[in-house]
Structure 1
Amino acid sequence: MNGDHIDTASPFSIASIVISMTIAAIGSGIMFAYVPYMLTHSDAAGWAAGGAVTAVAFGGLVGCVVGGPLIRRVGHARLFACSMAMVIIAAILIAADLPPIWWIFARGIYGAAANVNFIIAQSWLNHAASNQWRGRAMSFFYMTYVLGLGCGAWIFGQIPTDGNLAPLAVVFFTAIAILPIGLTRLPNPPAPASVNVNVKMAWRISPVGLIGVLASGGLSMVVQGFVPIYASTNQLPQADIALLMFVMQTGLLFVQYPLGILSDRMDRRYVLLIACAIILIAGFGAFLASFSHLVLLMIVFMVFGGAVETVYSIANAHANDRADPGDFVPLSSTLLVAWSTAATIVPLCVTMLTPIFGGRTFIIAAMCVAVAYALFVLRRVKERGPAPEDERESFGIRSAQLPNAATLSEPGKGNPEK
């Protein structure tokens, strides 16, 4: 591959990657709303909808482990087509009206394929973008993907659920998503580094960053995964569930972005404490809010979801601030696996506890995680004092629904600002 060509690539040249992933996100957004809605309105066991959330996260954990070796074996473009094919297979399994256990299995397939797609897309963007605009490119990528999820959720609200039109729409959008990257002229980047997990190293670099990403994995999957289940069990109409999930994604702009800018101007740990406080306040609001006041409820969940996204993005940036170039790839690998592990365990616990404590269990779980993390950050602030401001990277929008696999590519290329 000609490295000079990659370094001089224009912002327009990465459009194929961003377009492909945004179209794929529309299909994912449809399915993230459709599966819990259908499972909660069927004769499936009460744990089935929560089990589907856990399956997505567990599949993601598998995907982040196997993604690197598979890319080294067949290359970025071929594996992208294969992983998109797995998303289509998962949608067809759901469209086939099989028993709920097959739906859960299908969501696991989706989780693995989606994380492989994330690794491919972020690795490709990381190499195609020049140092001058890589950070902005990655932020734009995160923003368009999350808004694509929201648009997919809104589209779900317009689709009849008495047939299999929704999963067929997912097949359609996923197939379309293959075309832009399939036709791109961008050269394949080098194969990504292996997932080299080193928890001791990550703890040495940034305990606040490591535990923050760990916490955000559980927070993201619990809030994003269980909100449609909660709304469905409370008999919220399909169109309103779709609108609720769309509004939640806008928290990325209205909550994360302002707090991210603030974190460039003060100790990020204090901003993490602010984010945890917002999660706690929004959690109380979500716990008490009535579905009869839908607009208020949507605002509360928008803030709730946006604050969750903020914990991920700022904890990740805080870890990056303290990482040497030589440590960046194993650090990113460790954070990726930590995120995926928590994203599997916490929803599983919520699924098991919901029959005992009721449909608001996920709200309590999110609040407990936020309080525990805030206490940990306070302890670190007390022990370490003010954080140095030199060598701080500029904040960029990141999504807790799109774990950062960009640096599993090549040592020294992962940090867009260094």
Structure 2
Amino acid sequence: MMGSVRSVGTLLAAIFMLMAGSGFLSTLIALRLDAAGAPALFAGILATAYFVGLGAGSILAFSVVARVGHIRAFAAFVSLFSATSLAYALYLDPAFWPLLRLLDGFCMAGVFVCLESWLNERAEPETRGSILAFYMIALYSGQALGQFLLNLGHEQPALPFIAASILLSLAVLPVALTRLAQPPAPEGRLMRLNRLYAASPLGVVGAGATGLMLGAFYGLGAIFARGAGLGDAGTAFLMSATILGGIAFQWPLGRPSDIIDRRKVIVACLIATLGTTFAIFAVAEGRAQLMLAGALFGGACFALYPLCVAHTNDHLSSAQRVSATGGLVLVYSLGAVMGPLPAAAVMDAVGPHGLFLFIGLCALAVTLFAIRRLFVSPPVPGERQHRYLILPRTTPLAAQLDPLSPER
């Protein structure tokens, strides 16, 4: 197993540095806007711009990679991302920063396309699960640890942006100097959304709602943290705890869904998400309790997307699963695009805790929908259930690392 992981070590090092350099930018930008007295709605616009770029890039980046190859495309995406990271330090402008966030999202999607197609090419059937697990570890640990770069900006406000640019630039080195052969040009295939919904209404609605909730959290969580009295260090701890909690709880929450009706596990995660939003209201004045509540929120909410993917796959043939996952990535992205603006409007109306009021309302609505689905459609027989797999919400290519994927 370790030999297979070492064979893609340069790719894993690249994604770790990329996420360490880029994963905290949403938090940093929201904090800078809050310090400048900008309304939460402006932070919501920036978050929306990022997810629009991410969604567009997950579709359009395939043609860029096909035209110039993985190494050149990767270097181009990361170089542009590094440049935009420095550009934030120039000046705050209502038209300038949304454009930068749009470019950030597009570049991040291009990076995911390059690395995930490369990992697919290197993975053998018996090593795909291990490679996917280490890819997830590199991706989310980089994002969680990168949050602590927020602490660099006390004396020199431009320093966190410079640190982000340095890490992004260094991420090019493992890929540019690799001796791994470049894979064939990737193909992005998406199942039509009407076919997806007909196959699994709960899978589609759940994926979209997860996008609504997490898009709002990533874009506005830092403003909530500042409103709850946390400084830069406390904000970094809260964001990191939420991300790490999301990873730690995915397997314990997802594994039982292979044994019982998966919809019941989805309902349980939705109720837990709703419950944690109430907990966050209750413990907002206690720092340690808030960190724990954030970790529990991440654990419940992060598990929803792979559960919805698995539930959708239960209704499809093996040949349809990768294109279905591509469609669900698109649904998640659309949800993430639509989440930040209404969440920001609620925050502007009722205060920072409006973020979790919005998330709680989303969770409540989908919980009611999921409970209704339990009564109007029969469960999938156990022998037809697809194995639960922890998947990142990046591109359809990640689904091909499933050891049971027919795409290899």
Say whether the fold is shared (TM-score over 0.5). Answer: yes
For the residue of structure 1 that corresponds to 2:382, the secondary structure is coil
Change (3 A) 1:175 1:219: same
Aligned to 1:268: 262
Aligned to 1:258: 252
Question: How far apart, CA to CA, are the structure 1 residues paired with 2:163 and 2:109?
Answer: 21
Write the mapping of 1:173-322 to structure 2, written as runs, cut at 5 A. Answer: 173-291=167-285, 293-322=286-315
Once the two structures are TM-superposed, the CA of residue 73 in structure 1 deviates from its matched residue by: 1.6
1:127-173 alpha-carbon deviations (Å, 9 max, x no partner):
21111121232132123211111100023224436431100000100
For the residue of structure 1 that corresponds to 2:52, the secondary structure is helix
Question: How far apart, CA to CA, are the structure 2 residues paired with 1:270 and 1:81?
Answer: 44
1:349 to 323, 334, 342: 342
For the residue of structure 2 that corresponds to 1:113, the secondary structure is helix
Amino acid at match of 1:147: S
Question: How far apart, CA to CA, are the structure 1 residues paired with 2:347 and 2:366?
Answer: 22
Q: TM-score, normalised by structure 1?
A: 0.90
Aligned to 1:362: 355
Aligned to 1:10: 4
Aligned to 2:327: 334
Amino acid at match of 2:335: A
1:389 to 363, 371, 382: 382
Question: How far apart, CA to CA, are the structure 1 residues paired with 2:58 and 2:79?
Answer: 17
Aligned to 2:110: 116
Q: CA contact under 8 A between 2:228 and 2:284: conserved in structure 1?
A: no
**Are residues 1:376 and 2:352 paired?**
no
Q: CA contact under 8 A between 2:128 and 2:401: conserved in structure 1?
A: no
Once the two structures are TM-superposed, the CA of residue 299 in structure 1 deviates from its matched residue by: 0.6
Once the two structures are TM-superposed, the CA of residue 69 in structure 1 deviates from its matched residue by: 1.8
Aligned to 2:394: 403
Once the two structures are TM-superposed, the CA of residue 265 in structure 1 deviates from its matched residue by: 2.5
Q: CA contact under 8 A between 1:223 and 1:305: conserved in structure 2?
A: no
Q: How many residues align?
A: 403
Change (3 A) 1:94 1:116: same
Write the mapping of 1:92-107 to structure 2, written as runs, cut at 5 A. Answer: 92-107=86-101
1:312-346 alpha-carbon deviations (Å, 9 max, x no partner):
11111222333323323431221121111110012
For the residue of structure 1 that corresponds to 2:397, the secondary structure is coil
Question: How far apart, CA to CA, are the structure 2 residues paired with 1:274 and 1:323?
Answer: 24
**Are residues 1:21 and 2:15 paired?**
yes
For the residue of structure 2 that corresponds to 1:157, the secondary structure is helix
1:195-227 alpha-carbon deviations (Å, 9 max, x no partner):
445012212332222222111111111123221
Question: How far apart, CA to CA, are the structure 2 residues paired with 1:192 and 1:323?
Answer: 23
Aligned to 2:145: 151
Change (3 A) 1:235 1:358: same
Over the aligned positions, Cα root-mean-square deviation in angstroms equals 2.1
Unpaired runs of at least 5, structure 2: none
Aligned to 2:57: 63
Change (3 A) 1:261 1:161: farther
**Are residues 1:134 and 2:133 paired?**
no
**Are residues 1:37 and 2:31 paired?**
yes
Once the two structures are TM-superposed, the CA of residue 397 in structure 1 deviates from its matched residue by: 2.7
Question: How far apart, CA to CA, are the structure 2 residues paired with 1:149 and 1:161?
Answer: 24
